[in-house]
Amino acid sequence: MQDDSIPHLEKLTRASKVLEGITVIEQGTFITGPAAGMLLADLGANVIKVEQPGAGDPFRAFRGGLYSPHFQTYNRNKRSITLNTKDPDDAKVFDELILQADVYIQNFRPGAADRLGAGEKRLRELNPRLIYCAISGFGQTGPAAGRPAYDTVAQAASGFLNLLVNPANPRVVGPAIADSLTGFYAAYGILGALVERARTGVGRSVEVSMLEAMCHFNLDAFTHFFADGDVMGPYSRPSVSQSYTLRCSDGRWVALHMSSPEKFWRGLAAAIERPTLFDDPRYATREGRIQHQEQLIGLLGGIFATRTRDEWCARLTAEDVPHAPMYDTSEALEDAQARHLELEIEGHHPVLGEWRTVRSPVSFDGVRPTHVVPPPILGEHNDEVRAELAIARAASRSVASSKE
């Protein structure tokens, strides 16, 4: 039962703030560090992004200016302060931030943080309760530790890219999976360390590399190799799961994931008006359909080319066949279910105006996290954060004087 004494907007704002009271200092660039910071910010943490004066996170300028879509993707719900830690005054402000922080995140190459005065040993001496998260490409030590790593490099090194590239047209496809997933794993590690610190009062070092993250994400392929010596390829999983993408008469596409239950195949036979199709010995069993998937692709492709996508979706829905329209970005959030789930949300930036994004997928107590703060412009919160530090400084002095 909801407490109607709490205003509706306040409920929406508070519902997802399970990390309220946790302060995160993020000194991240591009994707991995900022993605980890954003995930914590989405859960209500106070995330302060420390950036270089003038340019900030290099992702800001990927489309000219300092507010590219690339930057916007991973930096909502944060505040920005610009600090040049080589300047003594700014270095002092940075240290004050660390003294107040619960978590510090960086994704520099190994050794760079020490050169910038942000190494773990120094920061932990300032704040023993600090959770120190270091994200790298290949790990903090080892023969490849100093190598540059980006998304495609990590996908390739982990064996994952081999599962995506079409041998007939071998080129890199898809979004920055390794970057984003490494940010997820970093946030996952940070949350575990915070839970432990609640018991012990002592911070932890959290390390994650893109290589480790992608190898773990590629666990299915490694497990098949360990168990049976199978080396999976791009079509291994779609063959076993019986997944299809089929072009319709209007040029749009439908995706099917038939898996193993026979009822789905009976439903598909009814939807395509071929009731005896799966009496064919080639397609009558799961094993047969896996062995003859190429023939099934051709057969179903010819059938689906006779009707529009909307017609096929209606037929497949009526027969409870696992399917979805293969939407592009402009379509996906317009789907009735996506609209029901309020996936598209917007916030208001005091300078840049209305801003749209996709909300966090995690709801607490049945309340969707629809409140969002747009990504900050560079140094937007310089005065605000410095004022907060001044208040904390004065409070600390007051406590100290009262003990004398």
- The SS3 call for residue 33 is helix
Identity at 175, one-letter amino acid code: P
The CA-atom distances, in angstroms, between 126 and each of 157, 197, 298 are 37, 17, 65
Which among 57, 102, 151, 179 is annotated as catalytic?
Answer: 179
Strands 103-106 and 131-136: parallel
Type and span of the H or E element at 255:
strand 253-257
Contacts of 188 (CB under 8 A, 6+ apart): none
HSE toward the beta carbon, residue 315, CA cutoff 13 A: 19
Task: Enumerate helices (H) and strands (E) in the chain, giving the number of each.
Answer: 18, 11
* DSSP E strand stretches across 287-343: 323-325
One-character DSSP codes across 143-169: TTTTS---HHHHHHHTT-GGGTS-TTS
Distance CA 369, CA 371 (A): 6
Answer for the pair 44, 397: CB distance below 8 angstroms, yes or no: no
89 a catalytic residue: no
Answer for the pair 38, 359: CB distance below 8 angstroms, yes or no: no
251 has which bridge partners? Answer: none
Burial of 391 (0-12, 13-18, 19+ CB in 10 A): exposed
131 has which bridge partners? Answer: 103
Contacts of 383 (CB under 8 A, 6+ apart): none
Answer for the pair 178, 210: CB distance below 8 angstroms, yes or no: yes
Q: Which positions are annotated as active-site residues?
A: 179
